[in-house]
Each structure stands twice: as C-alpha cells, then as structure tokens.
Amino acid sequence: MSVSMLNQAAGLRKKGVSMEQFTATAVIVTKCYLKANGMAISLAAGFVGQAAAREAAGLVVDMIRQKKMAGRALLLAGPPATGKTALALGVAQELGSKDQKCTPQRSRKLEVLMENFRRAIGLRIKENKEVYEGEVTELSPEEAESTTGGYAKSISHVAVGDVIYIEANSGAVKRVGRCDSFATEYDLEAEEYVPIPKGEVHKKKEIVQDVTLHDLDAANAQPQGGQDILSLMGPMMKPRKTEITEKLRQEINKVVNRYIEEGIAELVPGVLFIDEVHMLDIECFSYLNRALESPLSPIVILATNRGICNVRGTDMTSPHGIPVDLLDRLVIIRTETYGPTEMIQILAIRAQVEEIDIDEESLAYLGEIGQQTSLRLILKKLVVSIWMPNPRLICSRSNKIDTSPRFFLS
C-alpha cells in the first residue's frame, strides 16, 4: 500500500470501517485467497469471482516456489476491468515479493524496460560489522557541508524514537525502524516497528541489507565514496562513469555472480508486472526473450486486453500483439467478464464503504448496464451519483443513475 492509502485506511478504521471493506474498495489484494485444496474462495478481501483465474494463479505460485518457472513468464489476458492487475498483485503478495510495475511509455521503451527489470532483481548481502546500536533519545542538529558540494547544508532524517546503528569504521548511520513502544492500534504498517536492541551499545553484528541491481548500477555510474553496503562494489567504481551502460551492467552481473558463488550475497528475485504489454515493440520483445533465459531474472507477469493485433515495429499479426516465439514461453491465464451477480456483489461492497443507500432494484439495473458496457463505467456512475441532489440515496433505476452521465462523457 502507498502511504496515502494507509492514511486513508487509518481514517476509515477510526470511523468503524473494517480493513476488509477498505481493501475491497481500493482493489488492494493481499493474496489469491485459495482454500487448502486449491479452490478459490468466492468472496474474500476484495476478490469477487474469477475463480478459475485465481486457481490457475495458485498453481503458478506453486510452480515458482518449486523453481519450475525458469525461462517462462505469466500472461494475464482478458477484457478490461476483469481484475488482471489485482491478480498480479495477489501473486506477488503470495510470493512475499515487492511488486515492481512497469507501464510501457512512448519514448525510451527499451531503457525503461531494462531499468525496471533490474529494479525487480534484489540482492541480499550479509556482512559482519562493528556498530553502535540503540534507540535515539535526543537529537542535537548540527549543520554540515553537503557531500554533493555547493552551499547546501544536510541534516539527517532521524527522529527521536528511531532505532538506528552507526558503523564504527565509516560513521554511516542506518535507520532500522521505529521503536515498537511508539506503535498504536490505528497504525496500519505505515512504519516498521522494531524492538529496542538488547545488550551493549557497541557490538559486532551481522548486517543484512537488501539492494537491487539498479541500485548497484546507479551507485557505480555515480559513485558516492562507498559509505554503505554499495561499497562492496568498490573495486568496480570509476569516477569518470556518468551513465548506466550495457558494459557497466555486465560488469556488475559478473561481480554479483561471484558474490553469490562465494556465499556473501543471496539472489532475491522480485515480481515485474508489465501492463499493456501489447504496447511494447519488437526490440523490447527481443530483450524479454533474452532476459528470461538469464539466471538473474525476476518473475515476470504480463497483462493485456487485446486479441489478435499487430506486433509493433513489424507487419506481423499475433495473438495479444506478442511474437510467437515469446508466446511459447508464456503460461497464459484468461480472465472472464464478470456476470451480473458478481457485478452486483462488487457494487454492493462499494456502496457500503461509500455509505450509499441503494436498493436492490438499482443494483440490478446497474448490473444490466455493466453487462452491456463495463464494470468501470457502472462504478463511475455509482460514485458520481452520490454528489447529486439527495446524495446519500439512490432510490430507483430511473432518477440519478440515468441522469448522472449527462454531466460527463461516457
């Protein structure tokens, strides 16, 4: 969740709205919600319907955990507003990975794709360091010269109550989290709360830090003197490098592979979600083909709402606008258009959280409209109608539902 959504959720919780209701409204899904036998739960924390797709996603999660998805990717194909993005997020949460979303842009597509690919590959590095660790009880701010030069001053972003450690050799300050004594019942994981460290302040400690390959790329392209875990890559740093080149990435890959072999670091693949994959061109698809074969590859989930269409940059037509040689590498899950009953369930949940008093006749009428158009359209009608006269009541199919679209282009 983003910080803004967490703050919104905290406000709703104070008003008596449950977390389940909030996640159903914001379409934030924490898991695929399957039973022990692999069957989908019909209604659970924001997921309504799409039972077959969720069960298939559960099988894919099992394949990934057993390392049977090497060299493959997942494609979610289906009409708009059928839960493809929510399903991808559910898979990422099931795997315990952070989701890195990549939406194709008109310019620099390949560079954006390569950057997000590297962001989705994590490296967990373990070091034994001599540190001073404890809770911050008092701060005395002092201005210091900025490390970036110029006339700017820098002040550390550490607050009283934070748990930190200071590296004895370099003096680098690392924030571990917020002391758990500051936790309250209304906090929805906006902060990471940690216990107060026990024992001596000065100690030797195994430091575990997560860094992405893109972080290493950026640190080596613009070296900062090696004040943190990136100093492991110190022998590679060259002051004259100013941009991330393919040669630099290859050098970093070699060093990362060596650290993995020596047991210093552990590869932690994340999830890369590429929405509207049909917008990629043939050059990007060629990169995906090569990247999926690499041992340094994240879990790739693609999504599209297209059928047979042109592959960008060529005269070929192909299912979903994806070249056939890449389609052969994909496990495809299809999402179906919601039926009237499922649409009514989604509308009822949304109306409950938005505090809209809507009768069954109006819900059924919105369901009929949704079958002819889309789920997103009827959700828009529902939300817009609450700001019309008598805002908290939609009493029949003939008044506000039919009137609301005249204000907007539907």
32 falls in which pLDDT band (50, 70, 90)?
low
373-to-79, 152, 190, 340, 408 alpha-carbon distances in Å: 11, 55, 37, 12, 16
pTM of the model: 0.68
Confidence (pLDDT) at 2: 32
Contact 376, 85 (CB under 8 A): no
> Given the DSSP bridges, would you call strands 144-145 and 153-154 parallel, antiparallel or unpaired?
antiparallel
Q: What is the pLDDT of residues 67-92, one digit of tens each?
A: 888 889 999 999 888 888 888 888 88
Specify whether 64 is located in the same domain as 151: no
**Co-location of 248 and 125 in the same domain:** yes
pLDDT confidence band for 241 (50 / 70 / 90)? very low
Number of domains in the chain: 3
Buried b (16+ CB within 10 A) or exposed e, 291-324: bbeeebbbbbbbbbbeeeeebbeeeeebbbbbbe
> Which of 266, 291, 307 is a domain's end point?
266
Q: What are phi and psi of 153, to 5 degrees?
A: -110, 155
**Looking at the structure, do residues 385 and 320 belong to the same domain, yes or no?**
no
Q: Are residues 308 and 280 in the same domain?
A: yes
Q: Is residue 252 part of a domain?
A: yes
Q: 377 is written with which tokens?
A: 């359209």
pLDDT digit string, tens, across residues 50-70:
888 888 988 898 898 888 888
Query: Based on the domain organization, do 114 and 126 belong to the same domain?
Result: no
Residue 69 shares a structural domain with residue 193 = no
Residue 13 covered by a domain: no
In terms of C-beta density within 10 A (0-12 exposed, 13-18 middle, 19 or more buried), how is residue 51 classed?
middle
Distances (CA, A) of 15 to 2, 26, 159, 286, 353: 20, 17, 29, 51, 11
Tell me the C-alpha distance between 231 and 129, whole Å: 13
Whether 25 is in a domain gets the answer no
Region 132-141 average pLDDT = 82
Q: Which of 109-118, 189-198, 345-354, 363-372 has the lowest mean pLDDT?
A: 189-198
Of the candidates 227, 242, 266, which is a domain's last residue? 266
* Claim to verify: residue 368 and residue 383 sit in the same structural domain: yes
**pLDDT value for 309:** 93
Query: Is 152 in the same domain as 168?
Result: yes
Residue where a domain terminates, one of 249, 266, 283: 266
The verdict on 99 and 167 lying in the same domain is: no
In a domain, 128, yes or no: yes
Q: Per the domain annotation, does 23 fall within a domain?
A: no
In sequence order, which residues have a C-beta less than 8 Å from that of residue 15 and are 6 or more positions away?
Answer: none
Q: Domain for residue 111, yes or no?
A: yes
Helix (H, G, I), strand (E, B) or coil at 363: helix
Residues 164 and 247 in one domain: yes
Burial of 29 (C-beta count, 10 Å sphere; 0-12/13-18/19+) = buried
pLDDT digits (tens, 9 = 90+) for 251-273: 999 999 998 888 888 888 888 99
pLDDT digits (tens, 9 = 90+) for 324-374: 999 999 999 999 888 888 888 888 888 887 777 788 888 888 888 888 888
Q: Are 97 and 71 in the same domain?
A: yes
Amino acid (one-letter) located at 404 = S
Together in a domain, 163 and 235: yes
Asked if the structure places residue 382 within a domain, the reply is yes
User: Is the pLDDT at 155 greater than 50, yes or no?
Assistant: no
Q: Which domain holds residue 397?
A: 355-407
Residue holding tokens 């550490």? 158
Looking at the domain assignment, is residue 22 inside a domain? no
